[in-house]
Amino acid sequence: MDPQKNTSSYFVFQEEIEKELNQSKENNFLQELESVKIDRYKKLELPKPVWKIKIDSKTYNGGTCENFSVFIGKPKSKKTFAITLILAEYLKTEKSKKVLYFDTEQGEYHVQKAINRLSIKNNSIPENIEAYHLRSKDTAKRLKLIEECIYHNDNVELVIIDGIRDLVTSINDESEATMITSKLMKWTEERKIHIITVLHQNKGDNNARGHVGSELMNKAELVLSITKDENDKDISIIQTVASRDLDIIDFAFCIDEKGIPNIIDNWKKPSTNNLNKNPTKALPHQIGNETYKEILNLCFAKDEQLKHSDLVRQLQLAIMKLTAVDMSVDRTKKIITHLLNENLIQQRGTPKTTASHYVNMSNGIIETIDHGTQSKIEI
């Protein structure tokens, strides 16, 4: 045998093998690309609504197949109770599809307690829910267990991951944020399911924590925030932060004596003006006109007209009564200027004289003087 010839043949053979492999890879790539190409003429159905919520006798879609939603909130804002509400509504009507519930933060006792609330709320034991407590597992193991459970359970439609932050080692690592978001998109699309995730908010603002939170909020079908009512700590408010083609309205719930969350019927969204939050720091234009009307009605309850010094004092007393805050004279004078600009009050008489006074315009009534006859006209 000619060694040189054999060597040459070997390399030729290797080149042919590599060429075939590369061709195979290219063909696989093209096949995969073809599989995700959009056919404009194919009839596609709207994604199936998975979970819904009934508020004041009207039902709203909250999440659809092949998508995921994010529940965010400060610690102790009752995020897990909010999940109980959603699950209870889902399990009332869905008896055949399976629900997978993963909790990464609580121990076995408290996860069981959370699941048992469903039995009390719906007066029946839900047989189609499987719950897992993953607190004792390391980060990589939690992620792998969830993925295996999703892919090895048929007939699953809804998955809850309470504490998705615990599926990454660093909440601010961009690569991990991309990884976990990609996992959710892959799982939901391949398994035709909806996933609800739960994540803490930043202490300083209302955004979800870290790069993970930012990625999840950008890719989620629906983002809901859970906050405590500032006027009633027994009430938690659920508000839509962002949504894609979903029209769920803001609503609130409270916890009854049995520890069961219940939606509050005919709930009205509380005022969010800055006067109620911190009157001494609120700028005049940040305070809502509805609040100003309440204040002015108190100021002019006994007198239809007030001199400047009297108006300053009455405003201070009214704000104290409504908010329990002692407003400074200087800030009160700025409020008077704003009220004049907004036409909520009017100054009558010659300014800076004893004849100068103010009248309340906020109730839609003005006073006119006609040949000594006083009359009131609605505006």
Indicate the SS3 state at residue 242. Answer: strand
Looking at residue 306, what is its pLDDT? 94
3-state DSSP: the chain helix, strand, coil percent, rounded to 5?
A: 40, 25, 35
Q: What is the C-alpha to C-alpha distance for residues 34 and 85, in angstroms, rounded to an integer?
A: 42
Q: What is the C-alpha to C-alpha distance for residues 305 and 357, in angstroms, rounded to an integer?
A: 6
Q: Is the pLDDT of residue 263 over 90?
A: yes
Q: What is the pTM of this model?
A: 0.65
The residue among 42 and 345 whose pLDDT is bigger is 345
What does residue 81 show for φ and ψ, rounded to 5 degrees? -65, -35
Looking at residue 207, what is its pLDDT? 63
Instruction: Please report the domains of the chain, with CATH numbers, ordered by start residue.
Output: 49-263 (3.40.50.300), 274-378 (1.10.10)
For the chain, give the percent of residues with pLDDT over 90: 45
Average pLDDT over residues 11-33: 71
Q: Each residue of 220-254: pLDDT tens digit?
A: 999 999 988 877 778 899 988 888 888 888 999 99
Looking at residue 365, what is its pLDDT? 47
Label residue 377 by pLDDT band (50, 70, 90).
Answer: very low
